[in-house]
Amino acid sequence: MIMTIKPPPYCKDAQPTPIGWRNPRTREILAIRKISQAEIDEYIASTMSDSKNEPIVEVLTETTETPKKTRKRKKKE
């Protein structure tokens, strides 16, 4: 039986790679540790099943203001 791997406590959204845990934003390796592909697949499957239970929240922002027209200045002669 394969033990479930867990991300480092200081970066809960870290992604597992064969060479260790990677920060998803900076791509920096946070914890160097060999992780087998089977462990990575199991972790991804478990996180996907957990995320199916949570609603997906999408925030849409829309501006209703129209840009102001700029007037061209006449050159002084």
Report yes or no on 52 lying in a domain.
no
Report yes or no on 13 lying in a domain.
yes
For residue range 27-73, list pLDDT tens digits in order.
Answer: 999 999 999 999 999 999 888 876 555 555 566 666 666 666 666 77
The mean per-residue pLDDT over the stretch 12-28 comes to: 93
Report yes or no on 63 lying in a domain.
no
Write the DSSP string, the chain.
-PPPP---TT-TT-EEETTEEE-TTT--EEEE----HHHHHHHHHHHHHHHHHSPP--------PPPPPPPPPPPP-
**Number of structural domains, the chain?**
1
Report yes or no on 71 lying in a domain.
no
Report yes or no on 31 lying in a domain.
yes
State if pTM tops 0.85. Answer: no
